[in-house]
C-alpha cells in the first residue's frame, strides 16, 4: 500500500484542477460558505482558492481564531498579573503580541516583567517546579482543541502536589458562536466548513443541532487545498440533492464521536460559564469554560480577583476586527489595513494571530475573487 504523501496527495495541482472542474460543473446556484476556522482561511487565501472557484461561491471568514476573539479586558487581566513581582506569566505564541487597553505582554516583557512564551502547556509545570518561590500563572487559551491539554496540566500539577501553579482559563466553545452568527443573519450563511481541530476532540456529531435547526449543510474538512475544495464540492452536492447533513471530508482525522478521553478531561476539570464575552460577538451564553469549584484554589479569577481589572474594554475605533469575525466585512474593507495596522504594529487581534484573517491577507497580499 502506497504511503500517503501530504504534499503530493493533498496539494497536487492535478487534483486541484480536477476538483475545480467538478465544482464548476455541479454548481447551479450561489452559495455563501463560512469557513469557521482560521486555519481554513489561511489555506483559502494562501492558495488563492477564493480566486479560482466560480463566482457563485463566496467564502465568509468566521470567528475560529481564539486569539482574535479574545476581548481586551482578558488581555488587560494578563497584563495586570504580569506586573506582580512574584508572578511568572506563561502563555502560548501569539497572545504575547495582542494589544490590551494600553500595553501588551510583549511590552511588559521588554520592561523586565517575567513573561514567558511556551510551545506546550506542560512547560508551565516545569517552570512552577523550578521556581517554588514564585506564583506561576498559565494564561490558557483556545477552543475545545486545547482545553484537554490544559486539563492534563492541571491533573499533573495535582498529582505532583504543585501548589504554585495557577490558571487563567480562557477556553471557549465554538458551537454557541456559530449559533449566534447564523441567528443574527448579518452574513447570509448558506453552509459551513466546520473547524477540524475542534472536531477531533468533540466529534462531528456535535454539529447535528446546527444542521437540524437551520437546515444548513455542514462539512468537516481538512486544512489542505484538496481538502477544502472537496469540502466545497460536498456542500454543492448537498444542495443539488436537497440534503442537509453533517458530512466528514477529513476522515483521516475526524470521527463521529471524537476523542472520549479528551472529553472526559474537559468534563472532569471544567464547567461552562454563564456567559463569555467574545470580541466582535459580545456576550454569548454558555460559550466559555471555567474551573470547577473544587479547583478554585488554582483559579486566577478567584485567587487574584482583587487585582484583576473589571469591566469591558472596546476595540480601537478604527479597527473592524469585530466585523471581520462576524463575517460581515473583509480585512481589505478596513481603513487602516496595511497602513496604520500591520503585523509589526497591530491595532487589533485579527492582525496579530497567524490564523487571523487580517494577518493572512497581509502576508499573501490577498484579494477576493
Grid coordinates in use for 251? 476522515
Pair 34, 192: CB distance under 8 Å: yes
Domain 72-171+271-307 in the same topology as domain 9-67+174-248: yes
Local confidence band at 366 (pLDDT 50, 70, 90 cut-offs): low
pLDDT at 4: 61
Q: Helix, strand, or coil here: 194?
A: strand
For the chain, what is the mean pLDDT?
94
Strands 270-272 and 289-291: antiparallel
pLDDT in tens, 52-76: 999 999 999 999 999 999 999 999 9
Looking at 217-296, list the stretches that DSSP marks H as alpha helix, in order from N- to C-terminal side: 225-240, 260-269
Which of 3.30.70.141, 3.10.530.10, 3.30.565.10, 3.40.50.11750 is the CATH number of 9-67+174-248?
Answer: 3.40.50.11750
Supply the pTM of this predicted model.
0.93
| 37 neighbors 142 (Cβ within 8 angstroms) | no
Residue (of 31, 64, 23) closest to 225 by Cα position? 23
Q: Which range among 63-72, 98-107, 120-129, 184-193 has the greatest average pLDDT?
A: 120-129
Instruction: For helices 357-364 and 38-46, give the axis angle rounded to 10 degrees.
Output: 20
Q: Where are the domains of the chain?
A: 9-67+174-248, 72-171+271-307, 321-362
Please return the burial class of 300, using the count of CB atoms within 10 Å of its CB with bins 0-12, 13-18 and 19+. Answer: buried
- Which residues, including other chains, have CB under 8 Å from residue 158's CB and lie 6 or more apart? none
- Which pLDDT does position 353 carry in this prediction? 86
CB 275 within 8 A of CB 284: yes
CA distance readout (Å), 314 to 9, 99, 155, 310: 45, 12, 35, 13
Smallest CA-to-CA distance from 328 within 193, 189, 210 is with 189
CA distance linking residue 263 with residue 255, whole number of Å: 13
Per-residue pLDDT reduced to its tens digit, 238-280: 999 999 999 999 999 999 999 999 999 999 999 999 999 998 8
CA atoms of 211 and 167, how far apart (whole Å): 35
Q: What is the pLDDT of residues 162-183, one digit of tens each?
A: 999 999 999 999 999 999 999 9
DSSP secondary structure string for all residues of 291-331: E-GGGGGGBHHHHTGGGS--S--PPPTT--HHHHHTTS--G
Model confidence at 317, pLDDT cuts 50, 70, 90, reads confident
For residues 296 and 269, is the Cβ–Cβ distance under 8 A? no
**C-alpha grid cell for residue 318?**
478604527
CATH of 72-171+271-307 given 3.40.50.300, 3.40.50.11740, 3.40.50.920, 3.40.1190.20 = 3.40.50.11740
Amino acid at each position: 500500500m502506497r504511503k500517503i504523501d501530504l504534499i503530493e496527495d493533498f496539494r497536487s495541482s492535478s487534483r486541484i484542477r480536477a476538483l475545480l472542474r467538478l465544482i464548476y460543473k455541479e454548481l447551479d446556484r450561489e452559495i455563501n460558505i463560512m469557513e469557521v476556522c482560521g486555519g481554513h482561511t489561511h489555506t483559502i487565501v494562501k492558495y488563492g482558492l477564493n480566486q479560482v472557484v466560480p463566482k457563485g461561491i463566496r467564502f465568509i471568514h468566521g470567528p475560529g481564531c481564539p486569539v482574535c476573539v479574545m476581548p481586551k479586558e482578558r488581555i488587560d487581566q494578563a497584563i495586570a498579573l504580569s506586573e506582580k513581582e512574584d508572578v511568572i506569566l506563561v502563555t502560548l505564541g501569539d497572545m504575547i503580541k495582542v494589544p490590551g487597553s494600553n500595553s501588551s505582554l510583549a511590552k511588559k516583557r521588554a520592561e523586565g516583567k517575567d513573561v514567558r512564551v511556551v510551545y506546550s502547556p506542560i512547560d508551565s509545570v516545569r517552570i512552577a517546579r523550578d521556581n517554588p518561590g514564585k506564583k506561576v500563572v498559565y494564561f490558557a487559551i483556545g477552543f475545545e482543541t486545547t482545553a484537554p491539554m490544559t486539563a492534563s496540566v492541571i491533573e499533573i500539577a495535582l498529582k505532583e502536589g504543585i501548589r504554585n501553579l495557577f490558571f487563567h482559563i480562557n477556553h471557549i466553545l465554538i458551537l454557541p458562536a456559530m449559533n449566534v452568527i447564523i441567528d443574527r443573519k448579518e452574513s447570509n450563511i448558506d453552509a459551513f466548513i466546520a473547524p477540524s481541530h475542534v472536531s477531533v476532540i468533540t466529534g462531528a456529531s456535535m454539529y447535528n443541532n446546527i444542521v437540524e435547526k437551520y437546515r444548513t449543510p455542514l462539512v468537516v474538512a481538512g486544512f489542505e487545498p484538496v481538502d477544502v475544495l472537496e469540502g466545497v464540492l460536498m456542500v454543492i452536492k448537498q444542495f443539488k440533492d436537497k440534503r442537509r447533513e453533517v458530512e466528514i471530508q477529513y476522515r483521516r482525522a475526524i470521527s463521529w464521536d471524537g476523542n472520549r478521553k479528551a472529553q472526559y478531561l474537559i468534563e472532569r476539570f471544567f464547567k461552562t460559564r454563564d456567559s463569555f464575552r467574545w470580541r466582535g460577538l459580545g456576550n454569548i451564553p454558555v460559550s466559555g469554560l471555567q474551573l470547577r469549584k473544587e479547583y478554585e484554589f488554582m483559579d486566577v479569577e478567584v485567587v487574584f480577583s482583587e487585582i484583576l481589572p473589571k469591566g469591558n474594554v472596546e476595540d480601537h475605533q478604527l479597527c473592524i476586527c469585530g466585523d471581520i469575525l462576524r463575517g460581515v466585512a473583509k480585512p481589505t474593507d478596513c481603513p487602516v489595513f496595511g497602513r496604520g495596522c500591520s503585523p509589526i504594529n497591530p491595532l487589533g487581534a485579527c492582525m496579530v494571530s497567524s490564523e487571523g484573517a487580517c494577518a493572512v491577507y497581509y502576508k499573501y497580499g490577498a484579494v477576493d475573487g
